Amino acid sequence: MSCFLFLIFLTEVSCRLGTDNDNRHNWYEKKRLKAKCLQRDDATGRHAVRRCWWLEGARSWFHRTSISWFPGQTRNWTYDELTSHCNDYFACMQNTNCYKDYILYETLDRCSHDAFSIGPMSFCDKKLNEIKKSSPDTLSFCAKDYLDGKTSKKWTCESSRALGDCLLPEVKKYCDLDLLPLFKEHQDHRQYYLGCDGRLKFEDLETPYNHTSEIVEIP
């Protein structure tokens, strides 16, 4: 099984690494890296990025696959246990000194939200889907949109907060009680990672930051 998973990972890598000149440089994800790591006469930073993606990125991918295939293992996990692979990959990316700050935290948010969604939240989603089929009028419109996959995947402070506020009453009412504190902790982390609560300041954020509406849009 592990060999099969590794072959899948190598296939993903081969798709990402092109043979033409443009694709080869796209490997370094120019828009995600600091200018100092894009200098052609010094490949130190790019080599660090490559090593991080191959080593820690592979570990993160395997951990994510394990959660996806066996979500039951996450039922009693703490938030740190659930997102440990995300934190390790974040640390690896940060240690390259190449990734822009907002990219680091955007990646951490996406990874953590993915782990939460395919792990413990998947059981809540199953219950909500059952209710949607049997008594659809009991769920809010936004909850039904969420279950139908109609919510935005372009996360901002506003959209992530709106989704959390929408699902919180449903989680309280229909899902396992043990999920509630984890759900709240997850929402708190999302607001932090996206720079919504003022604790993070992204000096290299390339999209407009509206301090009034507190919307941070990650490209």
Output the pLDDT for position 31.
83
- pLDDT for residue 181: 98
Q: What's the pLDDT at 9?
A: 46
What are the tokens at 139?
Answer: 């769920």
Beta bridge pairs of residue 215: 210
Across the chain, which has 219 residues, the per-10-residue mean pLDDT values are 47 42 51 87 88 92 96 96 97 95 94 98 98 95 95 89 97 96 98 93 59 37
Q: Domain ranges in the chain?
A: 2-216
Q: Model's pTM, two decimal places? A: 0.80
DSSP 140: -
Residues 135, 147, 129, 185, Cα dihedral to 10°: -110
The whole-number pLDDT of residue 151 equals 85
For position 6, what pLDDT does the model report?
45
